[in-house]
Structure formats: C-alpha cells, structure tokens
Amino acid sequence: MAEKITKISGLKVLLGVSGGVAVFKAVDLASKLTAAGALVDTVMTENACRFVLPKSFEAVTGRAVYTSMWENPAGFQIEHIRLADNADIVVVAPATANIIGKAANGICDDLLSTALCACWQKKALFVPAMNEKMWTNPAVQKNVKILKEMGFEIIGPEKGRLACGTEGIGRMAEVADIIAQIEKMIARRK
C-alpha cells in the first residue's frame, strides 16, 4: 500500500512535553503527527514523566525519547543543540506556566528549557494548559507576551472542564486544532 502524503510528511518536529495533566493529549498529538508522516523527536521534563512514561511516546513515534541532559541515546553529541538544529518546527504541548516562564526568560535548567533556548530562531508553537487562575496570572500573561514578541505562536488555551473540576479557560487545545495550526505555520514558511 502506498504511503499517504500529507502537508506534514517528512516534517521534523521537536515535541516538548512539560508536566501537566494534559500530557495524555500530547501522546495523541505525537501519534497523529507520526501517522501523518512527521518525524517526531520528543523531549519530556521530569514532571511530564510523572504523568506518562517515555515509552508511551516511543511506542507511538518509533523514536527515542529524551528526558535528561545527562543521558545521551544518540551517542556523543550535545543533545539540546542537535535536537534544536534538526527540528523544522518546535511544538511545546502541554506548555505549563513553568516552561512558558523558562522559555520567555532564557532559563535553562533541564533538557527541554535548554533546547528551547537554542530554538529561538525556529518556528515554535506553544500549547498552554493550566488552571484558569494560573493562566490569568499577570506574570504568566507577561511571559506569553514575551514569547509572542520573540516570534513564537500560541494556540489556546480553551474554555472547558479543568483538572481541578471547575470550568474555565486553561484546557489544552484539541489535537486536530494543533495539527491544523502546524500546517498553517509550515505553509507560511513556504
């Protein structure tokens, strides 16, 4: 059977996964990107690994998952630079208040934040997911504004049921909407 060619076939995606309840959606995103022909390299924070195991991403992408600056599954290379250089686009999903703040302020204390610091010239899409009280915090909004000024794009968050059981803005955007945004970003680049 011939392989289906999509708008993202062959696209090299660096998927940054930070620690929030919406991590389960990131597994689905990785799966759907891979099914559409993208090559997905996943970097998970320590807190993301508390919600979902790296094996989940390995299973759906067929590729190694990176979780530490101190382990090197690809041999002797400076991983955060190699991952940044190899990516056509960076997607951070879910993007917690923590990783948004780190990226906006150049804080590099783990593999994901360090890779993001090296990706500042790449197309990047942040997909926020957090409680409404966190999302509306002026410091978080300031950091989101900084990311936008740096040329990064933001999709979401959406209004709906939050992990704490309340209704409000903070839900991670739906996977189909994220993929549609990636396709738009790639089309603009061409």
Active site residues: 164
Query: What residue type is assigned to position 20 of the chain?
Result: G
Tokens 């593999």 correspond to what residue? 111
69, 114 Cβ separation under 8 angstroms: yes
* Helix H or strand E segment including 56: helix 54-61
First vs last C-alpha separation in the chain: 29
Tokens 């989101």 correspond to what residue? 144
Q: How far is CA 79 from the centre of its chain?
A: 17
